[in-house]
Structure 1
């Protein structure tokens, strides 16, 4: 075949280069600044070179403009679990995104959008050229297998990039080939449903190209479980609600009449993953994070089906701020501790649920690893926490990058997607649906996953609506702090309702009304402990005299009103805030784009 010149990232796992992206012209967000410039004859001439090009596509997931912070910890907030960085809106960056007062000029919009498109451009190159390689058809069995896998990886990565763009911006320009082959780089928006159809078809193809976990070495590369789980997730979004600029309810949340077709796709893909047995739940919920992700290890059960591999170092080398921007701070001053667990979310957990104290961390940590309790209104998320990172240097370090991976899809999510789709399609819960959600619940309560347990299993005889409500709650308890909740609520058309309900619940909690009547003003923890140990219960009034050998934290107080109730999602507007605006620079250079949804 005849190759034309193109630019690619030639990267290795040990040396990932970051992106420096601007948006002076529409074409620029389909291109990247190259580390080296090679002809496609060279890049797509052998398997090792293609592997480097594929690693460059993976790299577009990482760093500050990827899941290193913005896509993971700015865009998914506020929701009914957590708040973004504390403080009033008006900074024209992350606080305005969290408070839903974002404007098209917001400084945090342009670069993530550009980086996602740069990943698409590199994926388009791989998808176009790999099947045209002579080795793809006539190479050795090993070469053909490796190239097929990388073709499937490129299809899957492109689907993830487009999915992230759609769930944040709605309809977007759609490109499926290298930019030099495009006759128009200044495209208008493509209906998201058309894009979803291509992505679902691409992932169906990729599932036949990519091996299962256990058939290849254990690392962070995409395997077939990830392909099928992503296809299930995208199908549920295709079948769910989304904010539309046109249609029978222009400018409102809408759902297609053929949504059951997509729930069927999701159900079938999840069933394949479940029956294959390549992935299973870790018996310990805490271990998934403390002993795997935070310990820089691959989770041994395959529960973390797909995680974004962070290289370590800086944003320029593809790292993340997980454990620095969020989670416990060092000595109360080092680290942002920026994401706050809502008190109402903390109290939504059953006290026996082990997931509460993994997801919610009510403390800072000293340089010696000693717990320093935080007030309830300053409780941070805990799945990515400094004191669980295996490198002891983080307890004395001012560094902002700890090399923690971001989990994109876990097996528990697959079980819950299966249960949700079963309930929708069958008009009520089935035995298989009950089993799927109960496996997740049993593990959460520290029970044996495979054995029925009446103390935690959902009661039999639930209606379709009741079972759906159980799914809504279970997904929150299981997946809290993993960047999923806001988007789940949007596809269920529940975001507005849940925000309003959460505001009322926060007011009731501060006033100690109803179920919150007996909550304490102070909670005591064990002193000089390296783990948070509640000496007094967060569910009962505090004793008149402080217990010995304890440290205290303010609990129910008016501070919750000033830092949370008055600010939480303060600018949310139904039928607008479900999506972000396009950055001003995009419209400046492309007159074919429109700013929709009331921005």
Structure 2
């Protein structure tokens, strides 16, 4: 499916993947996709139930964006972890190695599939925004639905603008294939403007909390936290600090006392999670594949001792020894190391694998693990970064935010000052900047932040080139590598799409 097909209306049926609320048990009912239905958009979205199912379809898009084996898209880790110093690709069949060594081809299928699922998500959101205004709903209900899909649309665009830079900006439902061809690439500043507008609306119209069957739907705190990250990425530091402080001051989220507990499938959507792409195992077609994708190919006896897996690991990518070395330098008291990666020795080769997505799957690609999009530790570290980058003296509140994360990493009470591990009030801006970069790398490893963090802080080129030198790689990057190429197939389908500098422009 190419660009124009995502947005066609009456002429092309839209794959919605619809289900009503409560079709199966557990707390993920709102994403259940039993009996996916292909509906022409001219026939759907005429009453309140169809709007509910449409919003459900928009949420389902997050599974595709963050990784779905049935959907054949590997997800955001391809763009956020593999290009970084956190991991390296172990398989060439998936062409993940092209992201690993920055030898990316414009026909790479991972580029194409990510583009597809991104604009499919945006199309689903735009249809709801276009149609729900004419459906009989209370203003509060309509605005809550609008807030949810505008959060999803903002998230999709935020990922896309960080991957590709200037991209097509589609704000409304597209009714014909001919109309789709009119969309060229929009300046990223205009894309960010829509993202900010969407998240501001979501912040003002979403509930403070979701519970029961709605657990995992977007909330006010999720919108505020994501908006803070967007503003930080735009280097609007003062505005970012204000938005992130709202999350902290609301006191609706808290660090888990034990770092490892964040990632337990028995503890999903815990007090630390603001937003996640949700998955449910059990043969429903909506389980996650991360357990298999990240686990080594192990003998059955060894696999069973790790996670009950019967040798089904594919290990698309491995934890890089450079990340292991960073944990070693952090000290034996840093409990995040034991919770973040494991070791398996095969002959003379030592393999490392992430432990954040371990689960006993129903089948090889049917596990329970959610993909955490935003959590409270991220908010605390971003808040400290935003305050530090304003150029003034670091505030006690911002310093306490990062110190809470550091204390938890040492298994200490997060709210109790500790002179042994706390950063001093006299720390310089440069030293705090460096420490925040390290803490983000260790705290958020393999959660889809590292590459975007390096680009946001203007450290991607020096950090990665130093990494390549240190590891003996011949790879080097420059400014053109800070975004990825526009997929060739999309440019052939829609000739008005231009290519990013430094990549082949010929069709």
| TM-score above 0.5 | yes
Cα drift, residue 176 of structure 1: 0.4
5 Å-filtered alignment, 1:141-540, equals: 144=140, 146-180=141-175, 184-186=179-181, 187-213=183-209, 219-239=215-235, 262-290=236-264, 294-295=265-266, 297-301=267-271, 303-312=272-281, 317-331=285-299, 333-349=311-327, 350=330, 351-363=332-344, 377-385=350-358, 389=359, 391=360, 394=361, 399-506=364-471
How far apart, CA to CA, are the structure 1 residues paired with 2:105 and 2:442? Answer: 32
Q: Residue 115 of structure 1 aligns with which residue?
A: 117
Q: Residue 19 of structure 2 aligns with which residue?
A: 11
Give the 3 Å change call, closer, same or farther, for CA 352–359 of structure 1 in structure 2: same
SS at match of 1:154: helix
SS at match of 2:323: helix
Q: Residue 306 of structure 2 aligns with which residue?
A: none
Give the 3 Å change call, closer, same or farther, for CA 300–107 of structure 1 in structure 2: closer
Does the 8 Å CA contact 2:66/2:74 hold for their aligned counterparts? yes
Unaligned runs of 5+ in 2: 1-8, 25-31, 303-310
How far apart, CA to CA, are the structure 1 residues paired with 2:150 and 2:246? Answer: 20
Give the 3 Å change call, closer, same or farther, for CA 500–377 of structure 1 in structure 2: farther
Give the TM-score, by structure 2 length: 0.85
SS at match of 2:484: coil
The total of aligned residue pairs comes to: 466
Q: Residue 28 of structure 1 aligns with which residue?
A: none
RMSD: 2.7
SS at match of 1:317: coil
2:87 to 80, 83, 92: 83
Give the 3 Å change call, closer, same or farther, for CA 147–127 of structure 1 in structure 2: same
Cα drift, residue 67 of structure 1: 6.3
Tell me which protein shows more helix as a share of its residues: 2
Q: Residue 35 of structure 1 aligns with which residue?
A: 38
Structure with bigger gyration radius: 1
Q: Residue 60 of structure 2 aligns with which residue?
A: 59
Give the TM-score, by structure 1 length: 0.72
How far apart, CA to CA, are the structure 2 residues paired with 1:212 and 1:183? Answer: 41
Give the 3 Å change call, closer, same or farther, for CA 373–571 of structure 1 in structure 2: closer
How far apart, CA to CA, are the structure 1 residues paired with 2:211 and 2:367? Answer: 30
Q: Residue 250 of structure 1 aligns with which residue?
A: none
Q: Deviations over 1:468-505 (max 9, x none)?
A: 11111111111011010001101111112111222344
Give the 3 Å change call, closer, same or farther, for CA 373–104 of structure 1 in structure 2: closer
Q: Deviations over 1:353-397 (max 9, x none)?
A: 00111111113xxxxxxxx78977411112112xxx2x5xx4xx7
How far apart, CA to CA, are the structure 1 residues paired with 2:340 and 2:394? Answer: 28
Cα drift, residue 7 of structure 1: 4.6
How far apart, CA to CA, are the structure 1 residues paired with 2:296 and 2:420? Answer: 32
Cα drift, residue 346 of structure 1: 1.3
Cα drift, residue 82 of structure 1: 2.3
Does the 8 Å CA contact 1:362/1:376 hold for their aligned counterparts? no
Q: Residue 536 of structure 1 aligns with which residue?
A: none
Does the 8 Å CA contact 1:16/1:311 hold for their aligned counterparts? no
SS at match of 2:292: coil
Cα drift, residue 59 of structure 1: 1.1
